[in-house]
Structure 1
């Protein structure tokens, strides 16, 4: 981590915070490197059971650091290549880790910020939040997984609308089309997001990790292939400590304790 991305782990929740509010949390090389370092910790640290991604200030993330792009001049392609190398490794690890991800979108999410905002398994947004792709206005193409995520979340037509028409939508519209999970009042966002992340931290982490993997796999698999993966996964879960604890708790009519497993 670095000053641009803070990471704090408490009670199983890793709070990852974009911390360049003076720039709208624009994705500089420091931000991309910080995201990757934080993602690697979240992926590998067994004390982390869920991850909450949010940002300081009034914007979530306005996308790439356009000022740095301009200053790079003819070196802009090399700068962008280095930046996306770190950013995309971070996105991949956050998507593939066996821990659920909550995103708390506290303001504008544009460009790469859009991809980060909707990456969460649970994506919450403040009522004041706005979403836009923004790439077309700069003569650039999408990054941060936008062309992979958006069609899967909202369908091809809505993805085309967002990426080609460069429309800015509010949080209510984002919820309506399935881009986010829920709109939350601005003053309740932080508490609501932490409550969701804390709830997930108490859940069966390995079973939820398998569930995340199954959901991503389903996007490319046929029915029979997916059924076989589900059969393998539930059998493995049934033989795990989480499975034994969950079944025993159900039979005993008590709350399951997955935190120590």
Structure 2
């Protein structure tokens, strides 16, 4: 499908999804979020896609919701949660549940729901000049896109509350130091570094990566005993996979495995 506010490219198991409103620092309009929802649904169902690289066009990753979006004004109601239920929450749920790893290449400001997109990814890498901002309190709202769930788990209660209430803009290096993202690289190296990592995942044991993602999603709501059962059930399934057989054979032969994602 052809999109207007996003771009999608697929090559040898890797899909690159680019937010494409560079004149607005990729601020999320109603059209963009609707396209994102449809795209994530398609990526989840596409068996040829084994990993996804998410980034933004131009000099920004995502500046948050587009408050000047004319479609937003047309749909304005007294229920501010309606847009979350209809547009934004489904996208975050899809990102967390899609059975393939998502790598975010944060190439500039990640504010508001843009920061939530980075946190909802499985692995986030930022360019040195990137920044992160929970902007919501600046306009009288609270963090959404799952950020009130992600932040305490990643940085602890004190930092999470300060990030949400004081709304400071923090650097990519500080985000890494606090555990919000995986790594920081020079701006010029960002896309190659993130692309290489995403390619490594796309060439990896797809079922294994999917079950790792699902197991960690379940862990926050499970007791240790329940999580041990999840690990048992998933390990039983993976132990029957072709990729496990290939992984063991490659290890014993001291060669690089050639995973097929099966």
Farther-moved stretch of structure 1 (89-98 vs 65-74) = 65-74
Structure 1: stretches of 5+ with no match in the other structure: none
Shift of 1:121: 1.5
Which 4+ stretches in 1 moved above 6 angstroms?
none
TM-score (norm 1): 0.94
SS in 2 for 1:60: coil
1:129 equivalenced with 2:125 (yes/no): no
Residues 201-254 of structure 1 deviation map (CA, whole Å, 9 limit, x = unaligned): 011011110001111111121111111111111111101122222122222322
Shift of 1:47: 0.8
Residues 133-186 of structure 1 deviation map (CA, whole Å, 9 limit, x = unaligned): 110111112221111111121122211111111111000100000011101110
RMSD: 1.9
Shift of 1:70: 10
SS in 2 for 1:67: coil
SS in 2 for 1:102: strand
TM-score (norm 2): 0.94
1:64 equivalenced with 2:65 (yes/no): yes
Contact 1:5 1:17 in 2 (8 A): yes
SS in 1 for 2:76: helix
1-side partners of 2:13 and 2:71: how far apart? 41
Structure 2: stretches of 5+ with no match in the other structure: none
Q: Aligned pair in 2 of structure 1 residues 156, 182: CA closer, same or farther (>3 Å)?
A: same
2-side partners of 1:34 and 1:131: how far apart? 24
Matched residues, number: 261
Contact 2:126 2:185 in 1 (8 A): yes
Farther-moved stretch of structure 1 (199-208 vs 141-150) = 141-150
Farther-moved stretch of structure 1 (241-250 vs 65-74) = 65-74
1-side partners of 2:106 and 2:131: how far apart? 9
1-side partners of 2:88 and 2:17: how far apart? 14
1:52 equivalenced with 2:53 (yes/no): yes
Query: Which position in structure 1 is the counterpart of 2:240?
Result: 239
Contact 1:28 1:83 in 2 (8 A): no
1:256 equivalenced with 2:257 (yes/no): yes
